[in-house]
Amino acid sequence: MFPYFVTMKDTPKHQGLRKKLVQTLERKGIANPEVLKAIGYIPRHLFMDSGFLDHAYVDKAFPIAADQTISQPYTVARQTELLDLKRGDTVLEIGTGSGYQTAVLLEMGMQVYSIERQHELFKITKRFLPKLGYRAKKLVFGDGYKGLPETAPYDGIIVTAGAPYVPKPLLAQLKVGGKLVIPVGEHSQIMTVFNRASPTNFEKEEFGEFRFVPLLEDKN
């Protein structure tokens, strides 16, 4: 649960820690200034349980509700960078979770659609994001394997859970020129980017090993 009624504040201490986090990300190779600016601006500690406040600006993943995690800042930064989007572009996120990645995309001026399959998390995050002023185009409770065909195609699709395979509907819902950024694998994942070069041709590139909670099949 996010105790925002107690912690809905940002302090100079948090801001200082955030500045350090941004420097860490730069050292690790994140170069996109828009990504760094968004991470430097968003109060990540508000997306986490109160017990973890002191850890919010360490470059690590942390537990949130429903046995899920808020992704490591480096991972969020890297995936966002790989999406390679500009202000106004539409993006579909699979795995809303805490809403932190959603907030990064919104802060960068994208139009964001996001899907979450855990109802508890979906409800919490849907209430929480607008309190920080972040308004997604649509937050959906559902199964990300199917994507969101009704508002497709998208300039980019980002999957924030480990996918055992690449769901076909996600490739189908990309615009030509758009990119799907998806960690693929069972126990650990290879960050994989599919660039839709033409309606029928996808160029694949790989960007190293990561570790995510699993993208689960529909439980309904």
- What is the rounded CA–CA span in Å between residue 70 and residue 205? 25
Q: Does 71 bind ligand SAH (CB under 6 A)?
A: yes
β-bridge partners, 111: 90
CA proximity to 100, closest of 123, 78, 69: 69
- SS3 assignment, position 62: strand
The single residue listed with the structure tokens 């504040």 is: 9
Q: How many CB atoms lie within 10 A of CB 120?
A: 12
Q: Does 62 bind ligand SAH (CB under 6 A)?
A: no
Among 80, 111, 160, 189, which residue interacts with ligand SAH (rule: CB under 6 A)?
A: 160
Q: Does 213 bind ligand SAH (CB under 6 A)?
A: yes
Q: With contacts defined by CB under 6 A, name the span among 17-25, 30-38, 80-88, 208-216 that binds ligand SAH.
A: 208-216
Among 36, 81, 89, 97, which residue interacts with ligand SAH (rule: CB under 6 A)?
A: 97
Is 98 a known active-site residue? no
Residue 184 Cα to chain centre, angstroms: 15
Q: Does 189 bind ligand SAH (CB under 6 A)?
A: no
- Residue 31 burial (C-beta neighbours within 10 Å; 0-12, 13-18, 19+): exposed
Among 44, 62, 68, 112, which residue interacts with ligand SAH (rule: CB under 6 A)?
A: 68
Q: Does 98 bind ligand SAH (CB under 6 A)?
A: yes
Could you tell me how many residues make up the chain?
Answer: 220
- DSSP-derived secondary structure for 134-157: ---SEEEES-GGG--GGG--EEEE
Least gap, CB of 162 to ligand SAH (angstroms): 9
Among 35, 36, 90, 95, which residue interacts with ligand SAH (rule: CB under 6 A)?
A: 95
Q: Which is closer to ligand SAH, CB of 1 or CB of 200?
A: 1
Instruction: Name the residues that contact ligand SAH, by CB under 6 A.
Output: 68-71, 94-95, 97-98, 100-101, 115-118, 121, 143-145, 160-161, 213, 215-216
